[in-house]
Structure 1
Amino acid sequence: MPSIKAVLFDLDDTLWPVVPVIERAENLMFDWLRRHAPAVPARFSITELRERRKALMATDPVYQLDLRRLRHAGLTEAFLATGEDPALVESAMAVFTKARNEVELFDDVLPALSALRGRVILGSVSNGVADLEAIGLAHWFDASIAAYQLGRAKPDPEIFLAACDALGVAPRETVYVGDDPRLDVEGAQRAGLRGVLMDRQHLRPRDIPAHIAPDAVCGTLTELQQWLQDELAKP
């Protein structure tokens, strides 16, 4: 087995919990709508806006790659349906985006990145729209690939291969770490990387499809560090 030269990370639910972030961002944007475009929240609840986005996603494959564009399009539709000025959509999106990037890292993230930096090359691959510059993590990674920028999303092998190319490493020299068995582990392995399941939720075996066999399952990044140390020590 080739030596590990690079580690790629998923972002949402691997480096920070994403559900509370999205809920807070949606609530803050909804409060902004109440003040600046009141007809929208008067007619649609947060749940109804979410359902409208789901329906909209099925109309154009680009929305599956760019969740910000999807949210913008959904808001524009809601503004038009209620007679509000769609020119305000960008301002509403700015409120959401700012809050979307106000994440709370898991406690093990910064210690792990600090310990790994210098031992291996670090990068990230995400289907989401988190802004690592705004979050303050960009400097930890030598390359960061987002689906909306590349036009390919996990589990497509191309997004993993693009990250390997950006880091200057071969897939067989690279580990990908993520919380989703199909998108992260299977997708990475299909591209020739080793796939590590970051199992912070302690999935039951039946929650992992039988055909997916992670190269490792770690409950924390501390456990990941130990696994990497053991792998790097192998001749």
Structure 2
Amino acid sequence: MSHTAANTAVPPKAILFDLDDTLWPIAPVIAAAETLLHDWLSTHAPRVARQFSIEALRRHRLDLLNEQPHYHGNLIELRRAGLLTAFAEAGEDPALVDEAVRQFLTARNRVTPYDGVLPGLAWMQQRLLVGSISNGNADLEIIGLAQHFKVSIAASEFGAAKPDTSIFLAGCEALGVAPHEAVYVGDDLYFDVTGAQDAGMRAVWMNRRGSDAHLAAGVRPDAICANFDELLLWLRAQLED
């Protein structure tokens, strides 16, 4: 069920979305992409594959991210940097890293939207300006969803990542609306909800797991929805105000 925080906001003119884990599940997609990449390494860079398991490569990336948090805004560059280090340690040709990254990205964009997402986006397009703001590497053109979004901003291209308010403000500006006229929908309390609210937007927490983590975090989303059906119900109520 959708819960709404009390506010006297104007009816929204725009809605912007996080992508991974908001419009589709990402963990199984990344797992499949990493398996495909490791298989590719076994054939084309066997010393890397022998020396580094999928888990070892993941641990290596997390260490890099802790040391250099700016990679939060460009996760594919984090993956590239991790592979370059692994190739160097294993004595493989670093010229192969670009193709390794391409292999990963191709598989990483094989996503399956959650139920209700496609008809929900179509409904919203008739009533609102629709955009996306993401810290991830999803390519809406490759996925086949670009036509649903008037504006799509990726942190890697913008130069700042959520929860920095500048990326949210840029999304509003690109759609020609003020922050208080826009709603942001995402699955992460810190990056999505807090970031959007700090920018002056309303924020909907897409909480598909039924968690009450917002209570411990002290975050008050403007609404909490378990799926797109609940999001549409909340939006209808906002648009009728």
Q: TM over 0.5, yes or no?
A: yes
Alignment partner, residue 191 of structure 1: 199
1:31 and 2:39 aligned:
yes
Deviation at 1:152, TM superposition (A): 1.1
2:11, 2:240 within 8 Å by CA — same for their partners in 1? no
Rounded Cα–Cα distance in structure 2 between residues aligned with 1:64 and 1:227:
31
1:151-190 matched pairs, under 5 angstroms? 151-190=159-198
Alignment partner, residue 154 of structure 2: 146
1:9-58 CA distances to partner (integer Å, 9 max, x unpaired)? Answer: 11000000000000000000000000111001111111111111112223
Deviation at 1:60, TM superposition (A): 3.1
1:133 and 2:141 aligned:
yes
1:1-235 matched pairs, under 5 angstroms? 1-203=9-211, 205-206=212-213, 208-234=215-241
Deviation at 1:207, TM superposition (A): 5.3
SS of 2:152's partner is strand
> Among the aligned pairs, what percent are the same residue?
53
1:6, 1:122 within 8 Å by CA — same for their partners in 2? yes
Aligned residues: 233
1:143, 1:163 within 8 Å by CA — same for their partners in 2? yes
Alignment partner, residue 3 of structure 2: none
Rounded Cα–Cα distance in structure 2 between residues aligned with 1:8 and 1:194:
10
Counterpart residue type for residue 18 of structure 2: D
Deviation at 1:122, TM superposition (A): 0.1
1:54-109 CA distances to partner (integer Å, 9 max, x unpaired)? Answer: 12223434322111111011101111111111111111111100000000111111
Rounded Cα–Cα distance in structure 2 between residues aligned with 1:174 and 1:207:
21
Structure 1 unaligned regions, length at least 5: none
1:181, 1:208 within 8 Å by CA — same for their partners in 2? no
Rounded Cα–Cα distance in structure 2 between residues aligned with 1:210 and 1:39:
44
1:141-183 CA distances to partner (integer Å, 9 max, x unpaired)? Answer: 0101111111111111111101001111000000000111111
Rounded Cα–Cα distance in structure 2 between residues aligned with 1:136 and 1:150:
22
Rounded Cα–Cα distance in structure 2 between residues aligned with 1:75 and 1:3:
47
TM-score normalised according to structure 2 size: 0.94
TM-score normalised according to structure 1 size: 0.96
Counterpart residue type for residue 212 of structure 1: V
Rounded Cα–Cα distance in structure 1 between residues aligned with 2:214 and 2:194:
14
CA gap of 1:206–1:144, structure 2 versus 1, over 3 A, is closer
Rounded Cα–Cα distance in structure 2 between residues aligned with 1:17 and 1:44:
26
Deviation at 1:210, TM superposition (A): 4.3
